[in-house]
Copies of this chain bind each other. A is one copy, B any other.
């Protein structure tokens, strides 16, 4: 028996271009579902995976991609949560143990037994991907697959990061970075009743920030940026979300956070950053890391998107362009979010195959 085959972008060696290959369509095991990928966003983490940047590395060959929007194509044994044809999302948290202290308290993102889509499990840069039925997200009816894809990582990550600032409606958050994460973060913050200051170094991104609702958008490189934030907020932002954690962004965040405020960090840069203890103590500042979001966070993040309150700016691209997109991410030239339009690929491929026959 010949397996059904699919197209996929595969990391064969860290730091090398992904190979566009034919691979067998995987078969869902117990508790798993097979998802036909319609769209898959490209995230910085995919780049880190492909380059082997982090201490615990994935094992090549593997398929990246963890902002998957697709359709249930087949059910593994024992699956009752979904049926074929359901619209589903597959996110970074592929599965977790459901039995540790984190899983049992709604913090499965901290499970030490978790697997990650596009990292320790194959991801969505392919026509099909396996998901865990207990972790796949139900997508709202009538969803635009390409538009919803970035919510699966960029959306939920910033939404959770904002929750972790503990800023309340009517209070100020500063959002550092208006890239793929930041421009959705601004929209989540507004939907959460927050007042928003956006910071970036590019004029185009500051314009985007204003368009999507920032109350104020400031050039992060100006000498008086911190001062302007302190003034606009009468003492500092209650929360600061750093979407692009770098030493200067971190340092600036600590300068613009209000007494008793929280700096929430998303993103996983390597290296150590410098923290001024005196200020952190005297102002009772909280610095907190935040990593993606739980299944509930994801459901909430998707609901905001489904209601039209949050929409990612996307550019669609075919799977074949994945190496160019990675190059753009490295160069910092990508605006908003690039989403691989995989189902379009499939149709074209199908069409080509038919004409070749």
Given contacts A99-B81, A288-B286, contact A277 B268 (CB under 8 A): yes
Assess the A275–B272 pair: CB atoms within 8 A. yes
The smallest beta-carbon distance between A285 and chain B, in angstroms, is: 6
One digit per residue, 1 when the CB lies within 8 angstroms of any chain B CB and 0 when it does not, for chain A 289-326 equals: 11100111001100110000000000000000000000
A55 within 8 A of B: yes
Give chain A interface residues in 21-65, CB to chain B under 8 Å: 30, 54-55
What is the size, in residues, of chain A's interface with B at 8 Å between Cβ atoms? 62
Question: So how many copies of this chain end up in the complex?
Answer: 4
A-B contact pairs, 26 of them (CB 8 A): A30-B78, A98-B98, A99-B134, A101-B235, A105-B106, A106-B107, A109-B284, A110-B260, A110-B283, A169-B169, A170-B192, A191-B193, A192-B193, A245-B281, A267-B281, A268-B282, A271-B278, A272-B277, A273-B275, A277-B289, A280-B287, A280-B289, A282-B291, A284-B289, A284-B291, A285-B289
Extra 12 A-B pairs, beta carbons < 8 Å, given A277-B289, A284-B290: A98-B134, A101-B299, A110-B260, A169-B169, A169-B193, A170-B300, A170-B303, A267-B281, A273-B275, A280-B287, A281-B289, A282-B289
